[in-house]
Structure 1
Amino acid sequence: MRGEASRIADRESRDSLAPRLRDTREDAWRIGNELFTITNVLDHDIHLERALTDPSRPVADKEAVLRTILGDQAHEMTMTIMNDLVARKWSRVSDIANAVEDFAVDGMMYYADATGATLQVSVELAQLHSALLNLPVVRSKLYDASVPAEARIKLLLSLIGDQGFSKVTMRLAEHATCNLRNRRYLETIQWLINKFSRHMGESMVTVTTAVALNEEQIQRLTDVYSEKTGHPVHINSVVDPTVIGGMRVQVGDEVTDNTVVAQLQHLHRVVAA
């Protein structure tokens, strides 16, 4: 939970710089990647975080530290964002890394906007989340800090395979396991789904069934959940033959699982008890 000073700093910085970051269009890919790298560096260097958030230290000194670290290789907008962040007050030193990560995800969203891939990324993240729901062992390894990051990324790539995910989806999925940030993997993916949904002004409803839904069924679900949530929704239909029958519906963090396999698992637990 961020303190009041950090919430104000984060909100004011993003309100001020979001339009400029959006205007970088396809350069937002490079900026987002640079900010993800900076997030990782900050997460692993508490001394650097303290140097950049010390309220008694002149802002000019903090900007000099940034220039020493980033040199002249970073994008101009990356430097603008970082200079703005170090000039603000933070409740905790680690909150500046959270703000940098937020900007990094924003960069990926604006790049997706510029390349017409925003909805695709949102759907693909929901598909990844849905696929991992039935893979608890894989999920646990994706956020196991004792496993090297390279091994976690390799496992992720083997899971995704040749599904043809966009490069934004791949980068976000890799970030979630490359830099764990004390979060479970599905928690991070859900956070990303929520950010993209808010960005598009609609909620993502992931519906998993054994066979594909037809257009009439999708429209009926769209009407039901639009009324239930009070705003537009997008139905992401996922086909998973292993559920056998029934339907699993996920809206945000809420999952309603009425599939046959879930009922069988419940019956097995009852019998075992």
Structure 2
Amino acid sequence: MQGEASRVADRESRDSFAKRLSASGDDAWEIGNELFTITFVLDKNPRLQRALTDPGRPTEDKVRLLNELFGGKVLDMTMAILVDLVGRSWSRAHDIDNAVEDFAVDAMMYQADKDGKTLQVSIELAQLQSALLNLPVVRADLSDADGPLEARYDLLHALIDGAHFDRITVRLAEHSTRNPRNRRYLETIQWLINKFSRHMGESMVTVTAATELSDAQIDRLVKIYTKKVGRPVHIHLVVDRNVIGGMRVQVGHEVTDNTVVAQLQALRRRVKAGTAK
């Protein structure tokens, strides 16, 4: 969690670049990739974090350090973002990493806007999340920062290549395993879904059911959850025969599981607890 100074720095910097990033065209893709790489570099170098956020160090020195590291190697917009960030005040040194990552995701969202793929990417992230719900070992391996990166990439692509996801979805999924940033993999995917939802002005509601839902059922869910969350919602339906009946609904981090499988599992736990007594 960022301190107040870092929250202000992050928000104000991103707001000041929003129009320029939105108008950057296909450069947004490259800017996002560069900023993801720089996030990784900063995460691996705490001394660099401190050097770039030290309140006692002149901003000119910080900019000089940026030029030594990245000058001529990144796009002008990427460098302008970094220069702006090092000129701001931070509660903690590593908070600047979070801001760089936020900018990277922003750039990818603006690229998705340009490509007309924003909703598609959001849905694909929800599909990836749904696919991983019953794969705890895979989730753990994707989150294992100590494991070989190539092995994590191979595992990820074995999972998603057949889905033919958009390049932006793939890049976000790769970032999530290349640089877990002390987060669980599903936590990062949910964070990305939330960011895309806010960007579109609506919330993603993932509904898991044993069968397809009718248009009337989906419309009813839209009305219920639009009222509940206070903004338009998009229903992402996952059909999973294994749930037998009922529905599992996830909005952000909130999960309501009324599936038959969940009820049976709860019953088994109660029976087991009663037996143990």
Query: Contact between 1:206 and 1:235, CA under 8 Å: does it hold in 2?
Result: yes
C-alpha displacement of 1:271: 2.9
Given residue 87 of structure 1, which amino acid in structure 2 is its aligned partner? G
Within-5 A mapping of 1:108-187: 108-187=108-187
> Does the 8 Å contact 1:6/1:91 carry over to 2?
yes
5+ unaligned residues in a row in structure 2: which ranges?
Answer: none
Q: Which amino acid aligns with 1:30?
A: E
Which is further off, 18-27 or 116-125? 18-27
Q: Work out the number of aligned pairs and report it.
A: 273
Offset from partner CA, 1:98-156 (integer Å, 9 cap, x none): 00000000000000000000000111111111222222222122212331222222211
SS of equivalent residue, structure 1 residue 236: strand
Q: Any unmatched runs of 5+ in structure 1?
A: none
Q: Which residue matches 1:94? A: 94
Query: Could you tell me how far apart the structure 2 residues matched to 1:41 and 1:172 are?
Result: 17
**Could you tell me how far 1:17 is from its partner in structure 2?**
0.9
Q: Once the two structures are superposed, what CA deviation does each residue of 1:146-199 show, in whole Å capped at 9, x if it has no partner?
A: 312222222111122311111111111111111011111111111111111111
Check the 8 A contact 1:36/1:175 in 2, yes or no. Answer: yes
For the 8 Å contact 1:176–1:189, the answer to whether it is kept is yes
Divergent runs of 4+, >3 A: none
TM-score for the superposition, normalised by structure 2? 0.95
Q: Bigger shift: 90-99 or 49-58?
A: 49-58
Q: What is the aligned-residue RMSD (CA, Å)?
A: 1.2
Worse-matched range after superposition: 125-134 or 104-113:
125-134
Give me the identity figure in percent: 67
Classify the secondary structure of the residue corresponding to 1:235.
strand
Counterpart position of 1:49: 49
Aligned to 2:250: 250
1:198-213 pair list within 5 angstroms: 198-213=198-213
Q: Give the whole-Å Cα distance in 1 for the aligned partners of 2:163 and 2:54.
A: 46
Give me the whole-angstrom Cα distance separating, in 1, the residues matched to 2:196 and 2:154: 25
- Which residue type is aligned with residue 97 of structure 2? A
